[in-house]
């Protein structure tokens, strides 16, 4: 625990540690959790008071720097052999960091620093709508990178597209009629495709809440297309597929999942791995989370194949580590 002046906290975009406020009587109040976006109003308020926070950092700067360096090197490689080799080097670093209980927030923070193209004001809108929605999107975007690398997508510009699409996949939920029920319907839909709307009806959600849930893939898609940030604009189609079913009875268009390509499946899987709640935190044992992840979406090809390849690559490094220790 260290003392952190507000001017130093203001240099950060995302809280990388636990932030407390101590009173003159010695009492300590918990203000912000790691992984939260730092709000302008929060910073301005405490800047006027010259607040000095109690700060318990959970990220490790060396991990952030290492991943930033590895992706910087990847960016300027040209030959497939070299790109694949660098991708495996990154996944190996990912495995070792998280098998040694390095917090996932360090990796997520590094991916945000390397790949994010979304304006801060847009991210603040999502954060203001629901802090859990922002954290879910933040972590899902990080998962999209390691999933993509494991499935032989290792060109820097495509990885950047994966990250930003995953970050904005649920931006369409930013609506005045968004509610706890809408968030839980999204969680239900991710775990059991086709169940979200039924869950909303069963909970007697309003028609406006149902509309927000049903319309959010198309609204997210429209936002991403208009942002003009993608190197591969066709990747935006994955946003429309996030809740589709192979039966053709998903939404918003009723497109069979059999139409989904492996690059769309990367985004669908990353989206499924984190829910809009507190169940996934920076302290989650990430390797175990990936290897033991269960979801009915995995029964849908090629989402199951994408997850299988991710697991196989991590298991490869697990076996290498076991062999070295043996």
The pLDDT tens digits for 67-91 are: 999 999 999 998 999 999 999 999 9
E strand intervals along the chain: 2-5, 17-22, 28-32, 52-57
Q: Residue 50 — φ and ψ, nearest 5°? A: 55, 45
Domain count within the chain: 2
Is residue 242 domain-shared with residue 308, that is, in the same domain?
yes
Is residue 67 domain-shared with residue 53, that is, in the same domain?
no
pLDDT of amino acid 89: 96
The residues, any chain, with a CB within 8 Å of residue 133's CB and separated by 6 or more, are: 126, 127, 170, 173, 183, 276
- Residue linked to tokens 């790109």: 83
Is residue 157 domain-shared with residue 13, that is, in the same domain?
no
Q: For the residues 99-103, what does the mean pLDDT come to?
A: 80
Dist CA 57 CA 241 (whole Å) = 38
Is residue 101 domain-shared with residue 146, that is, in the same domain?
yes
Is residue 286 domain-shared with residue 156, that is, in the same domain?
yes
pLDDT of amino acid 207: 95
Among 13, 37, 57, identify where a domain stops: 57
Is residue 247 domain-shared with residue 101, that is, in the same domain?
yes
Q: For the residues 190-210, what does the mean pLDDT come to?
A: 89
Is residue 238 domain-shared with residue 307, that is, in the same domain?
yes
Cβ atoms of 163 and 111 within 8 Å: the answer is: yes
- Residue 224 tokens read as 């991403």
pLDDT of amino acid 184: 93
Is residue 51 domain-shared with residue 66, that is, in the same domain?
no
pTM: 0.92
The residues, any chain, with a CB within 8 Å of residue 28's CB and separated by 6 or more, are: 20, 21, 22, 54
In a domain, 178, yes or no: no
pLDDT of amino acid 235: 87
Is residue 12 domain-shared with residue 161, that is, in the same domain?
no
Cβ atoms of 145 and 163 within 8 Å: the answer is: yes
Domain coverage including residue 39: 2-57
Is residue 23 domain-shared with residue 137, that is, in the same domain?
no
3: exposed, middle or buried (Cβ count in 10 Å: 0-12, 13-18, 19+): exposed
Is residue 19 domain-shared with residue 137, that is, in the same domain?
no
- Judged by DSSP in three states, 14 sits in strand
pLDDT over 90 percentage in the chain: 63
In a domain, 152, yes or no: yes
């Amino acid at each position: 625990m260290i003392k952190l002046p507000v001017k130093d906290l203001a240099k950060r975009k995302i809280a990388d540690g636990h932030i407390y406020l101590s009173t003159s009587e010695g009492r300590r109040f918990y203000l912000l959790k790691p992984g939260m976006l730092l709000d302008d109003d929060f910073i301005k308020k405490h800047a006027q008071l010259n607040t000095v926070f109690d700060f318990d950092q959970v990220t490790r700067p060396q991990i952030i720097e290492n991943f930033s360096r590895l992706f910087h090197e990847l960016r300027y490689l040209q030959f497939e052999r070299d790109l694949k080799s660098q991708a495996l080097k990154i996944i190996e670093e990912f495995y070792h960091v998280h098998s040694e209980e390095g917090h996932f927030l360090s990796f997520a923070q590094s991916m945000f620093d390397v790949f994010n193209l979304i304006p801060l004001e847009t991210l603040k809108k999502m954060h203001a709508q629901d802090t859990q929605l922002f954290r879910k999107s933040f972590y899902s975007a990080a998962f999209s990178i390691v999933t993509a690398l494991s499935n032989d997508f290792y060109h820097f510009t495509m990885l950047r597209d994966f990250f930003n699409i995953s970050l904005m996949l649920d931006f369409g939920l930013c609506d005045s009629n968004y509610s706890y029920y809408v968030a839980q319907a999204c969680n239900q839909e991710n775990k059991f495709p086709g169940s979200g709307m039924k869950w909303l009806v069963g909970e007697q959600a309003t028609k406006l809440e149902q509309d927000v849930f049903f319309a959010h893939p198309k609204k997210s898609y429209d936002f991403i297309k208009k942002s003009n940030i993608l190197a591969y604009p066709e990747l935006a189609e994955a946003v429309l597929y996030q809740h589709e079913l192979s039966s053709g009875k998903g939404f918003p268009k009723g497109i069979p999942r059999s139409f989904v390509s492996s690059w769309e499946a990367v985004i669908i899987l990353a989206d499924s791995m984190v829910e809009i709640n507190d169940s996934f935190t920076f302290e989650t044992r990430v390797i175990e989370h990936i290897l033991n992840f269960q979801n009915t979406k995995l029964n849908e090809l090629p989402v199951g194949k994408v997850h299988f390849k991710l697991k196989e690559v991590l298991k490869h490094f697990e076996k290498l580590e076991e062999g070295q220790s043996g």
